[in-house]
Amino acid sequence: MQAVILAGGKGTRLYPYTVSIPKPLIPVGDVPIIEIVLKQLASSGFKDVIMALGYMADMLQAYIGNGSKYGLHVSYSIENKPLGTIAPLKLMEGLDENFLVMNGDLLTDINFKSLFDYHIKLKARATIATYTKETKLHLGVLENNEEGRIVRFREKPVLKNKVSMGIYIFHRSITDYIPGDEYFGFDSLMYKMTENNDRVFSYEFSGRWFDIGMHDDLVTASEEFLKNRAIYLA
């Protein structure tokens, strides 16, 4: 199995840490998040990893090398300008027929092999790992009928929405949607694929998932990793 790790962003929400270090090298607990991700992929049976780099690419390449210390073959695709989450795939040669794509700043205990197998079983063109996110609205919510009469009131309701985890399995043909050497994100891909009624499926996950994109998230993920290290690095 082949994986693509998206690690080219500047990580501006984690400033000032990311002034001197790329976000994937920021420690979660006492281990850089990219090292956790690579070890998880290796233990799940992945052998080939392509890293999409941009910001501080040299530092990441120096740290990871050819991936042999993780039992992987790691190669690199460098973008000279920000291309978003999907456009970097257009630059890559040697993509497998089906491959995993994920952000390089996620702490999760998802079973990558099960996700991959699910995608193959459904003969999907894209499979999105999804998580039900609860958001408490700190306001009272009013609902009215057509004449404006209030018919329902909810005080500070908890809203539940299915969100993307930043982990996907794609069939190589999705690159046909990518216009070229220009910014093209996951949102653009989903708009196009759903408009075309393409075979896009959700893989629902209810385990542990942390995005370290912001300071509070990094603190929470670090506490979780130190508490349950064996779950993430079995």
Distance CA 141, CA 161 (A): 17
Q: Who contacts 167 (Cβ-Cβ below 8 Å, separation ≥6)?
A: 100, 101, 102, 103, 106, 108, 110, 112, 115, 128, 129
**pLDDT tens digits along 115-161:** 999 999 999 999 999 999 988 889 999 999 999 999 999 999 999 99
**What number is the average pLDDT over the span 208-213?**
89
**pLDDT tens digits along 26-72:** 999 999 999 999 999 999 999 999 999 988 899 999 999 999 999 99
DSSP string, the chain: -EEEEEE----GGGTTGGGTS-GGGSEETTEEHHHHHHHHHHHTT--EEEEEE-TTHHHHHHHHTTSGGGT-EEEEEE-SS--TTTGGGGG-SS--SEEEEEETTEEE---HHHHHHHHHHHT-SEEEEEEEEEEE--SEEEEE-TTS-EEEEEESPEEEEEEEEEEEEEEGGGGGG--SSS---HHHHHHHHHHTT--EEEEEE-S-EEE-SSHHHHHHHHHHHHHSHHHH--
User: What per-residue confidence (pLDDT) applies to 215?
Assistant: 87
pLDDT band at 18 (very low <50, low <70, confident <90, very high): confident
**Domain boundaries, given as residue ranges, for the chain:** 2-130+164-232
**pLDDT tens digits along 82-114:** 888 999 999 898 999 999 999 999 999 999 999
Of 39, 156, 162, 227, which one is the catalytic site residue? 156
User: What per-residue confidence (pLDDT) applies to 79?
Assistant: 87
Over pLDDT 90: what percentage of the chain? 79
Check whether 182 has a pLDDT greater than 90.
Answer: no
Check whether 14 has a pLDDT greater than 90.
Answer: no
Q: Is residue 156 flagged as an active site residue?
A: yes
Both structure tokens of 177: 């949607």
**What number is the average pLDDT over the span 214-218?**
88
Cis amide bond preceding 157, omega within 30: no
Mean pLDDT of the chain, nearest integer: 93
Amino acid identity, position 165:
M
CATH class of the domain at 2-130+164-232? alpha beta
DSSP string, 175-230: GGG--SSS---HHHHHHHHHHTT--EEEEEE-S-EEE-SSHHHHHHHHHHHHHSHH
Q: Per the confidence metrics, is the pTM higher than 0.85? A: yes
Both structure tokens of 172: 């190589």
